[in-house]
């Protein structure tokens, strides 16, 4: 890539595994960044090389804990004070995205707060993937490049060469995403109607549609405690499904999620590597989105179309 458009890629602590793959795809070295941690839990960010006049891309997903977001904010602030030409936040997993509206009285809208924090820190662009709610793009007053994990998940699903496929949405809210997959693959769509007792706890679930003797693929944007996915898989198995797989963009997999997936009727669950997954589960498979983000960075630098690389 031409040095007439100099750019540099840096990473926070817990997204380094992905940033290294992105840099390998771009054939560029990962920038040198030092994060000093103090005994009280505070930390400071220091760029070990000049970034004056450079376009910098800061790779950091904001998954739990909150240190990942704070690291990113400090990286942005340090880059602004070091006279970077532009500051581009590359956030494969945008945390707090489930808090996108007031769904009951006296609650915060965490997604808007995080958007304000990033904007106040000084980003010029956001590159992210599969936001929990599309309208979060409107929380920003800077360009947002919203990528889709379907670019890596759909080719994998097609490689399985399954017959009698049915796409399923684990809840009504995810029906738009699931319907897009169903249209692309040319197969039927079924829905799961669920009610929650409280956050992260499913009270009841019913299947709307036919799954008997079908290879079911459940599509979602993230899996947190895996309660919904595991329950949906078990109900579909009871309804006569031949096999049940799941795919989701973000591998949050907190608390009892791994045990639930392992003991469920799922044959396989496919994620991207937007969030690192360190536990062991034979049913979990991760596909890398590094090449997709690298290509997006390249297109941003060269002022080329981003949308032309989308499958759906």
Q: Mean pLDDT, 10 residues at a time, over the chain (312 residues)?
A: 73 97 97 95 95 97 94 98 98 94 92 97 98 94 96 97 95 89 96 71 78 96 92 93 97 95 96 94 96 97 91 80
30 and 89 fall within a common domain: yes
137 and 22 fall within a common domain: yes
Would you say the C-alpha torsion 79, 123, 288, 284 has a positive or negative sign? positive
Q: Is residue 293 part of a domain?
A: no
What's the CATH number where 18 sits?
3.40.50.2020
Q: Is residue 195 part of a domain?
A: yes
Binding site, annotated residues for Mg(2+): 132, 171
- Number of structural domains found in the chain: 2
Tell me if 170 sits within 8 A of 229, measured CB to CB.
yes
DSSP tag of 297: H
12 and 39 fall within a common domain: yes
174 and 141 fall within a common domain: no
30 and 110 fall within a common domain: yes
Binding site, annotated residues: 40-42, 98-99, 132, 171, 196, 220, 224-228
Q: Is residue 312 part of a domain?
A: no
Q: How many Å from the N-terminal Cα to the C-terminal Cα in the chain?
A: 28
Binding site, annotated residues for D-ribose 5-phosphate: 196, 220, 224-228
Quick check: is 194 catalytic?
A: yes
What gap in Å lies between CA 113 and CA 117, rounded to an integer? 6
What gap in Å lies between CA 220 and CA 132, rounded to an integer? 9
Tell me if 68 sits within 8 A of 61, measured CB to CB.
yes
**Which residues does 94 contact at the CB level (< 8 Å), separation at least 6?**
61, 62, 111, 114, 128, 131, 132, 136
Residue 141 domain boundaries:
7-147
Binding site, annotated residues for ATP: 40-42, 98-99
Q: Is residue 189 part of a domain?
A: yes
What gap in Å lies between CA 185 and CA 180, rounded to an integer? 9
Q: Is residue 255 part of a domain?
A: yes
95 and 17 fall within a common domain: yes
Q: Is residue 309 part of a domain?
A: no
82 and 37 fall within a common domain: yes
Q: Is residue 311 part of a domain?
A: no
What per-residue confidence (pLDDT) applies to 188? 96
Residue identified by tokens 């990033």 is 118
40 and 23 fall within a common domain: yes
What gap in Å lies between CA 15 and CA 309, rounded to an integer? 24
What per-residue confidence (pLDDT) applies to 202? 58
102 and 89 fall within a common domain: yes
Q: Which of 147, 178, 195 is the last residue of a domain?
A: 147
263 and 187 fall within a common domain: yes
Tell me if 221 sits within 8 A of 171, measured CB to CB.
no
What per-residue confidence (pLDDT) applies to 203? 63
Residue identified by tokens 């007439």 is 4
Instruction: Note if the bond before 65 is cis, omega within 30 degrees.
Output: yes
What gap in Å lies between CA 220 and CA 217, rounded to an integer? 10
DSSP tag of 189: E
Q: Is residue 1 part of a domain?
A: no
User: 80, 163, 194, 214: which is the annotated catalytic residue?
Assistant: 194
Q: Which of 113, 147, 181 is the last residue of a domain?
A: 147
């Amino acid at each position: 890539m031409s040095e007439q458009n100099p750019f540099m890629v840096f990473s926070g602590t817990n997204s380094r595994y992905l940033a290294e793959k992105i840099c390998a795809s771009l054939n560029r070295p990962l920038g040198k960044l030092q994060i000093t941690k103090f005994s009280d839990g505070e930390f400071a960010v220091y760029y070990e090389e000049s970034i004056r006049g450079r376009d910098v891309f800061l790779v950091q997903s904001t998954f739990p804990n909150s240190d990942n977001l704070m690291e990113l904010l400090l990286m942005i602030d340090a880059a602004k004070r070091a006279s970077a030409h532009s500051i581009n936040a590359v956030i494969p997993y945008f945390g707090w995205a489930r808090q996108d509206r007031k769904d009951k009285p006296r609650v915060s809208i965490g997604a808007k707060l995080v958007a304000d924090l990033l904007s106040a820190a000084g980003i010029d662009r956001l590159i992210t993937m599969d936001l929990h709610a599309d309208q979060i793009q409107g929380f920003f007053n800077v360009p947002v490049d919203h990528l889709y994990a379907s670019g890596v998940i759909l080719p994998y699903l097609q490689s399985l060469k399954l017959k009698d496929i049915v796409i399923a949405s684990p809840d009504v809210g995810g029906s738009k995403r699931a319907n897009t997959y169903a249209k692309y693959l040319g197969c039927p769509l079924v829905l799961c109607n669920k009610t929650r007792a409280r956050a992260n706890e499913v009270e009841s679930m019913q299947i709307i549609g036919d799954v008997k003797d079908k290879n079911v693929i459940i599509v979602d944007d993230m899996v947190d405690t895996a309660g919904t996915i595991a329950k949906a898989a078990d109900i579909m198995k009871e309804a006569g499904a031949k096999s049940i797989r799941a795919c989701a963009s973000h591998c949050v997999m907190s608390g009892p999620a791994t045990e639930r997936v392992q003991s469920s009727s799922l044959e396989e669950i496919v994620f991207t590597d937007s969030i690192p997954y360190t536990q062991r589960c034979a049913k979990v498979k991760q596909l890398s989105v590094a090449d997709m983000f690298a290509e997006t960075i390249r297109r941003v630098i060269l002022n080329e179309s981003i949308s032309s690389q989308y499958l759906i």
